[in-house]
Structure 1
Amino acid sequence: MAGSAVEDRTIAAADEVGIVEENELTRFERADEYMQLLDDLLVRRADGPSSAPSRSEAILAGLAAILDEYQEQSYLLDPYLERMVTPPIEVLQAHIRGLESLDADVVVRLSRLVYLYTKIRGYKAITNFFPHEVADLAPTLTYLEKLADPDQAAVGRDGEASVLNTCWELRYVLLLWLSLVCMIPFDLRQFDARSGDLGVLGLAGSGAMPTANRIEHVGRSFLSSPGKERDAAAVMLGRLFQRQDVQDAQFEDFAAFCSATLVSKPSAFLATGVLQALCEVVKTNDPAFVSGRLHSIQAVLDLYDDPDRRDLAGNGLVVKNQTKLTCRLGLKLLRPRKRRRFIHVRTLGASNDTASANDEADEDDDEDDVPDLIDQYISKLIESLQHKDTVVRYSAAKGLARLCERLPRPFIAQVTDAIVSLFHINIPDLYEGANDLNAVSECTWQGACMALAEQARRGLLFASSLGEVLEWVGKALLFDVRRGAHSVGANVRDSACYVVWALARAHDAEAIRPHALLLARKLVAVATLDRDVSIRRAASAAFQECVGRLDLFPHGIDVIRITDFYAVSVRKSAFLRCAVEVAEFDEYRSFLVDHLICVTIAHWDAAMRRLGAQAIARIVGIDVEKLGAPIVGRLRTLCSAKDSVIQHGAILTLAEIGAICASRDDASTHEALAALLLSTIDDLAASRLKRTATAQVLEASCRLVASAFDLFARTMTEPKHFSKADSWTTVVYLSLQDPDETVHGAASLAVRNASKGWKAFSVAQQQSNALVLGSYDYTRHADRFETALDHLMAIVDVKNAKTPASRYSSNVESRRNAYIALVRAIESVEGQCESAIMVTLLSGLEDYSTDQRGDVGSWIRLACLSGLSRLLSLFRGRHRRDSTTIAERDEYVTLELYDQVVGGIMKQTVERIDHVREVAGGCLLQLWNDERSATERQSWWRMKGGQVVKEAFIDQDGSMIDFKNANKLFPQAVKLLLIPRYRGQVLLGLLTSVGSKSDLGHRTILSSLIAFFSNPSSPSLLVEGEGEAYTLYDLFEDLALLLKRSLTKNNIVVPALELLRGIVEGGLLEEALEHVDTEGTRKWETILTTLQRTSTHALSTLKSHQRINASILFSFSLLPPSLAPCFAPHHRLGTVILDRHLKTFLSVPYPTIRARAAEYLYTLLNVHDLLPIAEEDEDEGEGKGAEEVEGVLTETRWATASTATYTLAAEVVVRELKRLLLPTAEEAVAP
C-alpha cells in the first residue's frame, strides 16, 4: 500500500505539471509593467555615483524575471522588441560616442540587459534594432580595443576599469554591434585618413593600423575567449570578410593566422573560436569566394587529420564546429537542385490524403558537377555520426541532409545506404530475424537515426529503401540494452521516434502503407510501455503525426485519444490505463502482450516488471477465457528460466493474473486457473528454487501462493492439485528464511499458522511469523483470533521470559513485529479487543534495549506509539459511529489507562532520539485534534492540560513545532510539567534523555529547565481546575520522591542527580533561596537534606562508578547554598556533608573517583570563596588553615597514594574545613 500511495502522489504531481504546461502564454501580458521598469532603470542612470545601486540592481532583476517567463515563447515579444531594445542601446551609443558620461555600474547593467534580450530572442533578431551609423564605427572600435588590451589606458574614470573589464556582457554586445557597423557601404580605408582627427576619442594618430586590420585584430583577440564573446567575435569576423575590400587584402593572412595558431597553441577555446569564425566566413560569402580560397580553409580543416595534431579531436565543441565547417564547404561547392516535394493536403470528404508535387520542373539529376571533395566531406560527416557527443552527431546529421539536397538522386541513395550500414556495426546474426545488440554502440545508432530523420524531413528517403530503413528504425524503437547496473538506449529510441515523425511529414502515404501496421504497433508499445517519460511522449507525438498526415493506422483517432501527451506522461497511467485500453483493439492486443512478456517483465528494472505484470493481468481481464490459458502457459515456461530476472517477472505476472481473476465471478474459470497456478508452485518448490531463488523471486512466489489460495477460497473448494503435499509450504519456508523484510510481508499473505513450532524457528522465521499473524482476515477465522493475540502477547511478555513455557523473544525485530501484528489484528476485526492489548502496547514504551547497533528498543517504542495512536483513533471512531455506552467504552480504555497512554506518549516526546520525538509528537497532537473535533454527544476521555499542549507544540500560524529540532522543542516541552497528571512520565522522559551519552542533557534540557523556572510567568501558567503553579521546590520534591522509589535503578538515579547538580550549579537554587521567608528556608533545608541523604544511601556498597561519582558531585554542589546566610545559624546540611560524608567521598576505593572528588572540591572552594584569606595585621590561623586544605587537596596523589596516605589526607581536609566553615557552639546558639 505504501508503494501505491507514492505512485498516487506521483500521478497528482504530474497532473499539476500538466496543468501548468497547458497554461501557455498568448501575448506579452506584462508589457506595461516591463516598460515602466525599463524607464525607471534608464532614469536612474543620472542619479550619480552617490546613489545606492541596490535599487537599480533590483529593477534589473525584475526585468530578467519577466523575460525568463517568455524563454519558451520568445516570439511573443516581437511586437515590443523595438521599444525594449532601442532605449538602452541608444544610451550605450551616447556613452560610447562620448556624448554622455555614465558610471561603470550603469554601463554594466545596460549591457547585461541587452545580453538578456539576445539570450531570450537570439542575437539575429536583436541586432536588427542596433544603430548602424557611420559615426559609430570609430568609437565602438576604439572602446573594444581598450577592453581587449589590458595594457592600454582603462576605459572610464579611475577605479571603474576593473568593473568594465570584467563585464563580458559589454564585450559581447559591442562585438555584435561592431559586426553590424562594419558592414557600412563605404571603403574602410577612407576611415584611416581621418583617424588623426579623433584623438579626443582615444584613437591613434595617422600612422595607426588600418581600420580593417584593427577590426580583424579585435576579432582575433576574442577568438580564444571561453565565453560568449567568442561567438560574437566569430560573427563579426564573418561579416567583416563578407566585404569585398577586406576579402582581397586580408583573408589569406587570416587563414594563415588560423593555421599557425592551431599548430603552435592547441587550445580548445582558441580552436573552437577559429572554426566558428571560419564557419561564419563560409556561411556569409558566395561560392566563388569559397572556391577561390578553398585550399587555405581546407588546410585548417586538415590539421585534425594529422595523427600528431589530434589532441583536440575529443573535444565536443571543436569537433562540432569542424563538422559544421565541413558541411558548409560542401554546400558552397554544390549548386542548389530542384526537388519534387510531397505536400499532404487534406481534402474535405476524401478518405485519404492526396499528395501534390511541386512539378515546376523535373528533378535535376545531373551527376557531372559533383566535385570529388564531396565524397571526402560525406565520409567525414558519416564518421561524425558515430562521435560520442550528441551535438556532434546532430550537426553531422543535419549537414548530411543539407548536402543530399544538392546531390543527384543516385548519390542520395548511396548516402542512405551508407547511413543504414552503420546499424550493422558490431551485430552478429544469431539466426534469421534475430540480432544480438549487446555490443552495439548507442552513439552510432542514434547518429544513424538522426541522419535518417533529417533525410526524411527533406523527403530524401525513397520508397525503394523505406523497407530496410523502417526495419532498422523498428529495432531502434525498442533499443534498450543493459550495461552494468543500468540500461542505455533512451536517446536511440527518441531518435527513432523522430524518424517516424519526419517520415509522416514529408513522404507519400502509399510508400509507407506496407509498413503501417507494424509501425503503428511498435509506436503504441513505446508510447505506453517505455520506461522513460520523454520517449513515451515522443512516440505519442510520432503516432499522432502519422495519423494526422497519413491516416494509415487502425483506430488512429481512438488510440490518440487514449495515448495523448499528458496521459502517457505518468508511467503508471501509461502502463495500467493507456496500454490496457489500447489492447481492447484486436490489431494491437497481441503485439502489446508479446512486448510485455518478452521485454517488460524481463526488464532489468524491478519496477518495470511489476507494472508489466499488472498490465498483463489487466489485459487478461479483458477476456479471461480467450487470453488466460495461452498467456499462463507461456508464463509457466518462463518460470523455469535460469535468469532470475525473467523468472521473477513471470511468477509475478502469474500472481497478478490470479489476483485479477479472483475479483471476477466465474467459479469454473477460478478453479481451472488455480489448478495451473498451484502446479506452477509445485514446480517452484523443487530443489532448483532452493539453490537459485533471489528475494524478489521468493516474494513473487509467495504472492503466487496467496493468489492461488484466494482463487480456491472463492470457489469454496479445497486445493487438491498439488503433486506434492507440502509444495506451497516449501516456498513459504524458504521465504521466511530470507533476511529481506519485503519477502516476509509477502509470505504473510500465504501463511495460515505462524505460531506452530515457534521455538524451533530461526530468528528470521520468528520475525516473519510474528508479522504474519497480523495479516490474517480474522473476520473469516474468528476461532484463531484469541489464540493469535495470546501468542503475540507472549512474544513480548518479558515478565515470564525465564519460565520454561515462555515464548518471549529476545530478538528486537521479532518483538517489534509482534507489536505491529497486534495492532493489525485488532484493526482487522474493527477494534474488538480488551484493554489488555493497550496495556501490552503501553509496556512496549518502556523498552530501551540496546546492542551493537545502538538503541534498538526505539524500534519497538516507535511501533507501540503508532499502534496506540491508531487503536485510540479506532476506538474513538467506533464510539462515535455506534454511540457506545460508558461501560462499553471502559471495556476498551478506562480513564486511568487513557491517562497512562497519554503520559507514555508525552514521555516519548522528550526522548533523546529525534525520530522517536517526531512520531510521539505527531501521535500526541493527533489525540489533541481528535478531542478538539469531538462533540459532547461523541464524548470520550480527554487528556488533561490540552491548552498547555497547544501552547507548547502549536505555533501561532497553526503549524506543528519541529519535534526533531531539540533546541526548539525542549524549551517548549518542559511546559508539560505544568500538567500534574502526566508530570511523572514527563520527568522520567527528561531523565532518560539527560542520561544519554550525548550532550543533550546539559546543552538543551538543563538550559530549558533553568529558563523555564527563571521566567516568572512560565510556572504560573495553571492547568484549569488542577492544583497550583509548578515551582522549583516542587521539582526538587518530585525528584526526591522519584529517587526514593528508584534507589536500585541507576538509569534513573544518575541522571536525576546530574540534573539536580546542574540546576544548583546554574544558580537557580541560590536565586530561589533569596526570595523565601523563614518557613520557606526550613522547607528548602529539609528537601535538600532529604535529597543529599538519598543520594548517598549505601554509598559504600555501590559498584557503579557513575552512581558514586554523581552522588559525590551532587553533595559537593550543595555546600555553597548550605553555607548561605539564609540557613544560619544551624547549617545542618553543611554539617552533615562535612562531618559524615566528606571523608567517605575522599576515601572511596576507586582511584579515579577519589581524584575527581578532590579536584572538584578544590575548584568548588575557590570558585565560591569558601576559604578565608588572612590579612597581614590579623591572626593568621584561619589563613594557614585554608592554605593547609589547599595544599593537601592539590599535593596528595589521590589516584596512586596508599590507603593510609589518602585516608590521613581526607581526615586533615575534613578537620580543617569543619573548623573553618562550620559555626562554633556559641555561634550556633547566638540570636
Structure 2
Amino acid sequence: MLLLWLSMTCLIPFDLSRLDGHLTSDPSQTREPIMDRILAIAKSYLVVSDKSRDAASVLVSKFVTRPDVKLKRLGDFLDWSLTTISQASDQTMGGTVILDGALQSLAQLFKHGKRDDFLQYGKNQLLGGLKDKETIVRWSAAKGIGRMTGRLPKELADEVVGSVLDCFSFQETDNAWHGGCLALAELGRRGLLVPSRLPDGRMVYDEKRGACSVGSNVRDAACYVCWAFARAYEPTELKPFVTQIACALVITAVFDRNINCCRAASGTFPYGIDIVVAADYFAVGNLNNCYLAISVYIASFPEYTRPMIDHLVAMKINHWDGVIRQLATKALHNLTPQAPDYMATTVMPQLLPIALGIDLHSRHGAILASAEISHALYKLANQNNRTVTELISSDCVDGLKSIHQRVSSLLACYALSFSHYPPPVCLSLSLSLSFSLSHYPRLSLSLSLSLSLSLSLSLSLSLSLSLSLSLSPLSLLSLSLSLSLSLSLSLSLSLSLSLILSGLQQSCSQREVCFTEARRDAAKAMGSSDSVVCEGNVSAVYRALLDCMTDYTLDSRGDVGAWVREAAMTSLMEMTLCVVGTAPQLLSPDLVNGMMCRLAQQSAEKIDRYRAHAGSVFVRLLHSNNPAVPHIPHREELLLLAIFPTEGAESLNWNAPSQAFPHITQLLRLPQYHTLLGLTVSVGGLTESTVRFSSQSLFDHLMLIQQDTAALGQFSDALLRVFRDNLRNDRVSIPFLKMLDQMLARFCVVLLSLCKEEIKKSKYTRKLRSAIAVFCGLIQFQGEVRKKFTPSLLHGLIRKTTASQVYEMLLTYDDVIDPDVMDDVMTSLSDTNWSEDVATVRTHRNQLCDWLGVQKPQLVAKGPVQ
C-alpha cells in the first residue's frame, strides 16, 4: 500500500530536486537525493516474491516517466533492467522472480510512458519519400501514408490528401507523379478519398527526356488507382465518374505507347464484356492492332467515339515518336466513318492551324491527319454520290489548298536546286506537280519543274545514271515507297529493266537498321506479278531473295529482319510458281536447292509466325503439281514426301512447336537441308515451349541414330560447321552454347577449342555463363579435354557462377579428382566468398589448382605504353 501511495505522490507537478533543499550545497550532508532514494526502494521491491513486486512496477512506471526523472535516470534504469534480465536464470525460483519483476517494470513503463509527438516529422518524411528516385522507396512511402492517414482525424487526413495532390504539378518530376499515384491508390483502397478530388491527366502523363520519354510508370500507377477505387467504393458512389474513368482506361488500353500500360488499363477496365473481350491482355500487345482494329470496334460505342478522337488529336498526332504519329493519323482515318460530321466540322478546323504552327512534330502530324481524314471523308462522300467539299467547310478547303500550294512550291524549288533524282522520285514529283499546275496555273516554278521532270523521264540516261550510282539511304527510302509504281512501268522502261533489278538487288543488300522497310518492299517488288524474269536475270533475282533470307537485323522493335525474310519467302514462292508454270527450264538445280534449304532452315527457327510461314511455303512448293517444281532434293526418292505426306500437309499446324519440330528434325537425315542451324536457335532460345519441344525432338533423333556411325559422323560435322561458321555471331553462338550444355558429341577437343575461341576476351556475361555450363559438361571426358579446360573453370571473371557450376559438376562426376582431396575442394568451393577482391580469392584459386593437379594461371605483364 505504501508503494502505491508513493506512486501517487510521485505525480506532484514540480521538480523533485526542490525536496532536496540545500543538499548539494552543504558538503557535510551525505544523504542521497530523493530521486535516487525512491528509485532504490522500487528496485529493492522488484525482486521480492509477494504482491509488493507488482506495486513496485507501478511505482517505477509512474516515477521514471516524470519529465525530470526521465532525463536523468531513465537510461540508467533501462540498463539495470536489461542487465538483470540477462543475468537472471529462469531455471531457479529466485531467478524467475527477478525476471518477473524486471519485465513487469518494463511493461508498465511502456504502458504509462508518454510517446513524443513525431506525427508531423513522420508525415513530412513519408511525403518526401513519394518523390524518391527509387521505386521501392516510393511504394513504401505510399503504404505508410495510407496507414497513417487512416488513423488521423478527418481534418488532418484531408490535409495529408491535399499534400499528396500537390505531387501532381508539372513542376514536379515523373517520380513525384508516380509516388502520388501510388499514394492515391492506397488512400482509395482505404476509403479515404472521394473520386471527385482526383486530378486529371495522370493516364496521359508522358514527358520527353532526350531520345526517350518518361511517364510509363505514372500511367501504370494511374490504372492501379482506378482499380483500387473500383474495389473500395460502392457502385452508386462511383456512378457519376464511371464514364470518365472508363474513357480514360479505354484510351490508355488502346493508344498508350507502352505495352505494359495498355495491359494494365485493359485489366482495370470496369465494365463492358464486349470491350473486355476485344481488348484483352494479348490483343493489346500489338500496337498496330490496337490503333487500327481495336480502336475502330470500341469507337462503335457512342460514349467512347469522341473522347478517343479528341485524344488522338490532342496527344498523339504531335507525339515525339514518329511511329505513334503515323499510327494516330491512320487511326483517325479508320475512325472517320464513326463520326464524319464531327471530323469535318470540328477536327479539321483544329488541324489546319496546327499544320502551320512552329512545332515540327505537330506540323507533321497535323498534315498527315488532314490527309487521312480528307481521304476518309472522300470515300464516304463517294459512297453516297456526293463530293467531299459538301462535307468539309469552305474555310477548311481553302486551308488545305494553301498547304498544297506551299508544298508544291517547296518541291519546285528542290527540283531546280538539284540536278538528278531517282526515277521513282521524278515520277512522283511529276504526277504531283502536274496536278498542282492544272489547279494552280500561277505556279510558274511548277511548270518548269514539270517540264524538266518529263524530260528526265523520257530519257533513259536519267534512269541509267540514277541506278548506276551507289544508292544512298534517301534513295533507298524513296525506292521503297515507289517500288510498285516503278515496276508497273516495266513495259515503258523495258530497255532499263536490268538497271531496275540491279537497284532492287542493291537495296536488298544494304543492311542499315533504319531502312529495313526499304529492303522488305524491295523483296516484295522482285516477286510481284509485274516483275519480268528471264534467263538473263533469274539467277540474280534468286540470289538477292536468298540473301534477304539471311537478314537478322535487330533494333528497338526486335527482330525487324524477320519482315525482310517473310517478304523474301513470299516472293520466292510466287516467283517460283510463276516460272514453273511458264518456263520451268529457267530453274537450275542450284537455285532450287538453295531455296529449299533456306526454307527448311527458316521452318526450324524460334519465332512461331515466321516458322509457320516458312513451313507453309516449303510444303506448298513440295506438293505443287500444276506443274511440279523441278530439282527439289530428295523428292524423287520419296524421302521428303515420307516426312511431309500430302494427306497430312494441310492439317499440320506450323505455329505449334509440338507439331512442327518432330517433322523438322527428320530433315537432319538429309544432309542437303541445313536444318541444324535453325534448330540451334530454337533449342538454345528463351521461349519455354519452343525450347522444350525442339530439344526433345532433337534428342529423339539422336537416340535413333546412336548406333549409326555414319549418321553420327555426319551430324557431328554439321554441328562443328554451324559453330565454325558463326563464331562471334551472338545470335547463333549463345544458343549454340546452351544447346551444347545438353548435347555433347564426339569431337570434344574441337568443341572445346571453338568454345574458348568464342569467349576469348569476351565480357558478355550471358555468353560466359553459357560457356561455363559447356565446360562443366565436358568434364566427363577424360584425357586431353579435361586437362585443357580445367584452368578455364578458374577464370577470374564471374567467379561465383563458375564455383557453383564446378561444385555441381564434382557432385555429378566423382571420379574427376583424387578422393583424398575431394572434401577440401568441395569445402573451398562452397565456403569461399568468391565476390571478394582478386588478391583474396587468388589464394583460394591457387590452392584449388594444387588440389586439382593443374597449372596455376600466370599473370601476364603488360608492356610499356608506346
Name the TM-score class by shorter chain.
Answer: 0.3 to 0.5
| TM-score normalised to structure 2 length | 0.47
Decide which structure has the larger Cα Rg and report it: 1
